[in-house]
């Protein structure tokens, strides 16, 4: 079972000044878009580093909250009986820890939302950047093709407009030079 694939190719377009300008303009716009994508990627990298720093701060806060929790549990286990000022102190400490935990949870949720947004942005940027790199490679091929067509066109022009030379022997060239000198000498006399 054999299958054959037909690849349709466009016939080569006639190289005109307008076509060249259009292709060069397209290539320049691709390069500008690629540069903007690179800048967006750099900004993303900066944002992700900031997000990592925020997560590190939250980790330090979590450790501090665990330590405060340990102090509270130690206070409760080490004191037999519950004097009224110890209960007030514990209530204030528990209230402060609850407030800090609430802040920590909100900040964690915000940082997590930012991280998800950054992850989605990374996937989009990566896809666009890969596409842009492919477009730039294609543009390079287009430039090579344009250059080759220009060289061919120039060679054809030179071939079609240059005077046709025939093969001559060195003695014929010498006779021709001598004839030219003789003609110049007789014309000046």
Our measurement of the distance from residue 142's CA atom to the centroid of its chain's CA atoms, rounded to an integer in Å, reads 20
How high is the pLDDT of residue 170? 63
**Short-list 63, 55, 65, CA closest to 110:** 55
| Segment-wise mean pLDDT, segments of 10 residues, the chain, 189 residues | 49 62 79 84 88 86 84 73 71 82 85 87 85 80 80 82 63 65 67
How high is the pLDDT of residue 40? 86
**Short-list 85, 104, 83, 105, CA closest to 93:** 85
How high is the pLDDT of residue 127? 87
How high is the pLDDT of residue 2? 46
Q: How far is CA 110 from CA 87, 105, 107, 116, 177, in A?
A: 34, 9, 5, 10, 92
How high is the pLDDT of residue 14? 58
pTM to 2 decimals? 0.50
How high is the pLDDT of residue 163? 67
């Amino acid at each position: 079972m054999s299958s054959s694939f037909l690849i349709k190719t466009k016939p080569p377009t006639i190289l005109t000044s307008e076509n060249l300008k259009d292709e060069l303009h397209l290539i320049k716009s691709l390069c500008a878009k690629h540069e903007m994508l690179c800048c967006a990627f750099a900004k993303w990298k900066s944002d992700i580093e900031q997000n990592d720093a925020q997560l590190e701060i939250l980790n330090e806060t979590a450790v501090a909250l665990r330590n405060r929790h340990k102090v509270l549990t130690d206070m409760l286990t080490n004191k037999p009986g519950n004097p009224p000022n110890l209960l007030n102190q514990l209530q204030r400490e528990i209230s402060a820890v609850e407030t800090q935990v609430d802040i920590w949870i909100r900040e964690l949720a915000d940082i997590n939302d930012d991280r998800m947004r950054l992850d989605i942005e990374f996937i989009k940027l990566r896809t666009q950047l890969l596409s842009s790199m492919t477009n730039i490679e294609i543009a390079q091929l287009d430039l090579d093709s344009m250059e080759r067509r220009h060289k061919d066109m120039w060679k054809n022009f030179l071939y079609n407009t240059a005077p046709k030379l025939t093969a001559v022997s060195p003695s014929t060239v010498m006779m021709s030079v001598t004839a030219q000198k003789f003609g110049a000498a007789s014309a000046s006399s």
